[in-house]
Amino acid sequence: MEKKHESVKKIAVLGAESTGKTTLARSLALRFQTVWVPESAREYMNINPGEYTIEDIEKISREQLAQEKRLGSSANEFLFVDTEQIISKVWCMDVFGKCPEWIENEISVNQYDLYLLTANDLPWVADPVRVNSQRRDYFFNWYKRELESHSLPYEVITGRYEARLLNAITAIRKHFGHFD
């Protein structure tokens, strides 16, 4: 039976680079038989490598939101989102020292039912898009401060591979009850 879009619980996966966000979002969607929203930044940066501007981050952020809206209508129980606007804000602030006001506003307006903050306990895997191998703790702590300053519900997800997925499932059950 298909659920109404309004009853879908939105769960954002955020964390520093190379902490398994994409794998976790995809695996959770498979586990709960629903859809997930891939990270727009990765696709954009693969197509547009090199230096980027704050306007590029805005394009990425708008596309992330548009994908979420498109895919959300076909979600079942949960919609898993690989990154969201807190990451855009931190990215803007870290690189440019400022953040567009609409991104800040979006964090308050487009809140998720739960945020899964991925810990830095997975090994770093280099790729052309990743640049902050030595700053993962710095970003983890920044994301955590953002979640707390907005009083957003979150769980830190630890563990390697299957344990990470099981810990995320446990966090979801803790917040929403038993879903199977």
pLDDT digits over 1-24, tens only? Answer: 344 456 899 999 999 988 889 999
pLDDT digits over 36-81, tens only? Answer: 999 887 787 777 777 889 999 999 999 999 999 999 999 999 999 9
What confidence score (pLDDT) does residue 179 get? 60
**Could you count the other beta carbons within 10 Å of the beta carbon of residue 138?**
14
The tokens describing 14, both together, are 């955020």
Report the run of H or E that residue 136 belongs to, with start and end: helix 136-149
Give the total number of structural domains in the chain: 1
What confidence score (pLDDT) does residue 23 get? 94
Query: What residues does 37 pair with on adjacent strands?
Result: 81
Q: How far is CA 165 from the centre of its chain?
A: 15
List the CATH number of the domain containing 83. 3.40.50.300
Query: What residues does 35 pair with on adjacent strands?
Result: 79
Q: Domain range for residue 124?
A: 5-176
Report the run of H or E that residue 80 belongs to, with start and end: strand 78-82
What confidence score (pLDDT) does residue 130 get? 56
pLDDT digits over 116-161, tens only? Answer: 999 999 876 666 565 666 788 999 999 999 999 999 999 999 999 8
What confidence score (pLDDT) does residue 2 get? 42
Evaluate whether 78 touches 11 at the Cβ level (below 8 Å).
yes
Of 9, 5, 26, the C-alpha closest to 177 is: 9
- Annotate 81-96 with b (16+ C-beta within 10 A) or e (fewer): bbbbbbbbbbbbeeee
Which residue reads 């994409």 in tokens?
Answer: 22
The tokens describing 55, both together, are 């306007």
More confident residue, 98 or 83: 98
